[in-house]
Structure 1
Amino acid sequence: MDISCMPNEVLCRIFDLLPWSNRKRISLVCSRWNEIVNSDRYLRQTKLVLYNYSKVQFFSGVEEELLNKQKVIEFHSSAMLDTKELLLTVAQSFPSGEAAVECIDLFLRSDHEQLFNLVISNLPKLTWLKSLRILANEALKAYKDGLPIHSAILEKLKLTFYQNTPCILITPRLRSLDMVIRHANDMNVLRGVSGQLRELTVNFQSKDLLVELFLCSFENLEKLHLSIENDKYLPYIVSPSAAITWDDIQICTGSIGNLRCLEVVDKCNMLRHNYLKVFVYAKELTHLTVNYIHLDSMVVDFITTFRNLQYLNLRGCSTTGEPLILDLPNLRELLMPYKHYSMLPCTNLNHLRTLSYSSSQKNHAHFVQKITKTFTNLETLNLLNFDYELSSDSFKHLDELKFLKTLTIRDMSVSNQIFARCPLLSTLRKLELKTVVTEISLLTYLPLKMPHLYKLNIENCFFYIISNDHSSEHLSFGKLRERMPRCRVSTVDSTVFTNEHYDQNPIYIPG
């Protein structure tokens, strides 16, 4: 088929696969291709990444007209960023007020300060800019008195400074902030805008500064992601904050009433008994993530405080193996702690619709049966990271989940007979198999056991043909599609291996 006969939508998809330098060249082929590459519809879906991709030639053709039309631009560290050609193009485009850029990413080293200064100084003139990300690996020498970020319409900001960099935000419409806290100046930035934020993602690399988070006011905050790590490779010195009392944090506790989503990832074990209780004042919380925390009775009491909770994520948490009682009448989705040995005793969880579980038990059939008895109204079941292969009788009680629509098996091997011994799953609509080792004969049972399946995703799976009878034929993916014409079968990075002596090469499954 002549490529010139293809509709514009198809050509647009093809051009998406090309690096930007090649798109520039194909735009010279004909006027139609030039219009596609430079159309507003096309530019909204692409990102112009300016870095040393193909040496000096890469920047030829990055003209003012192109820069003015681009919606997303990334300036990435390279030796070529401060070329006169690029600096001149930016200097012509950004101050004019005609640039349509909505998102700018700056990933720079200190030796790119010419470009950095040029972009920062023109932020007020970028009248469509909604999102800005700055990652500075080194100190910015020109901003000893403070890096000014001035934009009347900026809504989303992400800041990461490896060196101590004072920053001044003049951003009245800022609603979403993503920050890494390493230095006291970073906390000063957060404190200055905390009252206007609706979403905050904060990663504390300096544990000494964590306590200062609870001196901020968050009257408009709806979502908080708080993570605590320890970056031992960076040479910085932070003076410990003075001890604070409950009276000192009343501004914080009195301002978090609008918080709906709280995500806590504590890899330093700091929050468990010290600061978690601050968040009990967020009485309307509906989504809670608590990762890498030991689930003792205090933490469980903290979780069950939130009676309106709809989503609970306990991934990465450790337990003592003792039963934990959860009483959350409105919970809809639960992600269990990794390798929890005993079934979690639960009350008032009849409304649970989604369960993600990892277990080290060898008796999977008994384990799955316990799930069907405890969570009777499940619609989605995700089985993850099992230490042992899912045995052939694992699913013999699965039909007891009368509302089950989605089943995911991830990061484990699966017996080829698991679906042969599986009962009829008439309600199942979606099956996902990821990182699964099994025999190709597994496919034979899917049309029989899941007659109403409409979506089958198989990703990064290894299927084996193990047979001494070379005359037997195994169901291929083509035949599977014929038998299940209403089901969308998708395979990504999956391979079929054969043990036949005359065929030493694996068979690659088409996507």
Structure 2
Amino acid sequence: MPQDFINGLPAELLCQVFDRLGHQQQAEAAATCVRWSEILNGDRYVWRRRLYLCPLNLCENGIGDVEDMRRYRAFAIKDTLNTPERTDLRYFLNTLRRFLFCEKVRENVEDLRLRLFRYSLADLFANEGGLDFPKLRRISVHPSLFLNKRDLMKCNITAPNVREIVLDDSNSCANPLVQLFSEQITKLGVTFMDKVMFFAGIGSKPFVNLQCLTLKALHGSHFPRLFRDTDFTPTHMQLFRRLRFLKIDDGENVFFPAYECIFRVATNLKTLIVLGRDMSEDAFNAIDELKQLEELHLNIEIHKSWSIRKLSLPNLRKLTTYVGTLAPLESAPNLKSLQIQNHTQLRGRFMFGEEDKLAAYFKVFNAHLEELLLKKVELDTTFVNQICTLTKLRTLEMNSVESEQLGVQKILAALPQLKRVRFVKCNLVKELVISFNDTNQDAEREDLDEGFEDEENMNFFNKLMLQYPDCGIANEHSRVVRHSPRDQVTMYPSGYQVTMHHFWKVY
């Protein structure tokens, strides 16, 4: 396309293209030509970016282009980012306060991310006359080592539009910002290393308007203290009852005894996300009572027996589960999106004799499912046959999937209604029948390997695109590999090997 034609495109059309680019891609586009740079450095895009303020750009030698810096609406403030030894941090604090509290910045800032390790919140926000942030909507805080109870009295700020607070690492003192804005925030995120720090960080406020809660447990000790039903007060129970969104990221398994208690109270949830290790059968059965659920993401091992309850969720639209323990379903009439991923093992396939159980599982949603996402799984014949029964499927995405070429071709032939198919880092196996003699077997194998992968990648995906032009097929770093009769061993970047001898089991 001629350069003059591209430069002649209206700015509105170029903005529609730039809106689809990531931050790094926008930076590369801005360096292409003067016109693109002017568009990408306009207020439309500057207001979406975050400006980092640290002792390197707020120092005695100057603070850069002040007028350009004031155009930003989101700031990340960090006082230990490669700080030179000779840097006067007191000067940094004073300069930061002058810049942040000037009228043009203070009245327009919408997002603050604070990583202050050498200052307390009182050092930053203390002001006898008070500080008003009329447009501030989100605050993310990594508590200072110097945070103490006196900060609550010294932080004299008002921000009537604050709706979200994120505590990246709560400590043993109540966070003053949480206490100040507890009655108006609708979203709260808390990262903690111990349940004592969690309860201290959020304090005892009722959070009457809170609708979204995100909890993340970090590794704090070799023997972390588990949450118990008795740890939660009636105020906490009311908090869970009002929630519409709950995400628990529990790599330490500290919530295992409390899942059931939380789920039985949080009956108004529309989105539930659990990332962790284990969940008891009783806790899983409690999910069946959450009849308003629209999204359910369970990346967790479910302890199952014959008394496990199959979920009947009339409003469920999106489900994420993994093949180790597929979340059992009884009824999901509105399920439109399903993501299956392998959480406990990097590859797997269904056990022999499980075909009937898998067919019954897919029968719950095969007449209305529109989107299927597969991540880190192996498509064997059993699974391929069930995918072919999804008569309403519109989108199929495979990420790190192992499959035979014939399986992919069978799916595309059986589902003509597909509008989008995406392959990401997949291995598509091609069966090769080759006769080798005993004398030059290894030499012939090496000759076949040379150039095989690149040529087959291009040929296979090009053929698919030509054969199914309405399918919107896209490929990102997927490859065609030869079948090996030996055990398939995959080497991953971290250095460990995985042999393809795992099996899935359907419950």
Matches within 5 A, 1:212-223: 212=200, 213=202, 215-223=204-212
Aligned residues of 2:372 and 2:395 also touching (Cα < 8 A):
no
**Aligned partner (choices 71, 75, 86) of residue 52 of structure 2:** 75
Contact persistence 2:77–2:113 (CA under 8 A): yes
Q: How many residues align structurally?
A: 424
The aligned residue for residue 263 of structure 1 is 247
8 Å contact kept, 2:373–2:396: no
The residue identity in structure 2 corresponding to 1:44 is R
2:379–2:403 contact (8 Å) kept in structure 1: no
Measured in 2, the distance between the counterparts of 1:367 and 1:244 equals 36
Within a 5 Å distance, the mapping from 1:28-43 to structure 2 comes to 33-39=33-39, 42-43=42-43
- Where structure 2 has 5 or more consecutive residues not aligned to the other structure, the ranges are 343-347, 435-447, 484-507
Tell whether the 8 Å contact from 1:434 to 1:461 is kept in structure 2 after alignment: yes
Q: State the partner residue of 1:103.
A: 74
1:63 is matched with none
Task: Give the distance between the partners of 1:173 and 1:323, measured in 2 at CA.
Answer: 48
- Contact 2:241 2:265 (C-alpha < 8 Å) held by counterparts: yes
Change (3 A) 1:156 1:442: same
Residue 261 of structure 1 and its aligned partner are, at CA, apart by: 1.2
Kept after mapping to 1: 8 A contact 2:461/2:475: no
Question: Are 2:396 and 2:420, in contact at CA under 8 Å, matched by a contact in 1?
Answer: yes
Matching residue of 2:180 = 192
Are the aligned partners of 1:464 and 1:498 in contact in 2 as well (CA < 8 Å)? yes
User: 2:276 pairs with 292, 298, 302, which one?
Assistant: 292
Alignment correspondent of 2:134: 152
Alignment of 1:119-158 (within 5 A): 119-124=96-101, 125=103, 126=105, 127-136=107-116, 138-140=117-119, 151-158=133-140
| DSSP-derived class of the 2:383 partner | coil
Secondary structure of the equivalent of 2:215?
strand
Distance 1:115 1:208 in 2: 33
Selected match of 1:432 from 366, 373, 397: 397
Q: Does the 8 A contact of 1:327 with 1:347 survive in 2?
A: yes
Matched position secondary structure for 1:209 = helix
Give the distance between the partners of 1:21 and 1:393, measured in 2 at CA. Answer: 45
* TM-score w.r.t. length of structure 2: 0.69
Residue in structure 2 matched with residue 45 of structure 1 by the alignment? 45
User: Residues 481-496 of structure 1: matches in 2 within 5 Å?
Assistant: 481-496=465-480
What code does the residue aligned with 2:110 have?
K
For residue 143 of structure 2, what is the amino acid of its counterpart? F
Query: What is the percent sequence identity of the aligned residues?
Result: 16
| Structure 1: segments with no counterpart, 5+ residues | 27-32, 47-69, 234-239, 406-428, 500-511
Q: Does 1:172 align with 2:148?
A: no
Q: 1:291 touches 1:317 (CA, 8 Å); kept in 2?
A: no
> Counterpart in 2 of 1:201?
189
TM-score, normalization by structure 1: 0.68
* 1-structure distance, mates of 2:212, 2:118: 31
1:469-480 matches, within 5 Å, as: 476-480=460-464
Q: Is the 8 A contact 2:26 2:40 kept in 1?
A: no
Code of the aligned partner of 2:359 = Q
Paired residue secondary structure (1:491): strand
Partner of 2:278, secondary structure, is coil
- Equivalent position of 1:370 in the other structure: 360
Structure of higher RCO (CA pairs closer than 8 Å, 6+ residues apart): 2
Aligned residues of 2:398 and 2:424 also touching (Cα < 8 A):
yes
- Aligned counterpart in structure 2 of residue 452 of structure 1, from 414, 417, 420: 417
Q: Given that residues 260 and 285 in structure 1 are in contact (C-alpha distance below 8 angstroms), is that contact kept between their aligned partners in structure 2?
A: yes
1:79-107 Cα deviation digits (max 9, x unpaired): 743455541533x667xxxx332211224
- SS of the aligned residue for 1:45 comes to helix
Q: Match of 1:462?
A: 427
Q: 1:181 aligns with which of 169, 192, 195?
A: 169
Q: CA RMSD in A?
A: 4.2
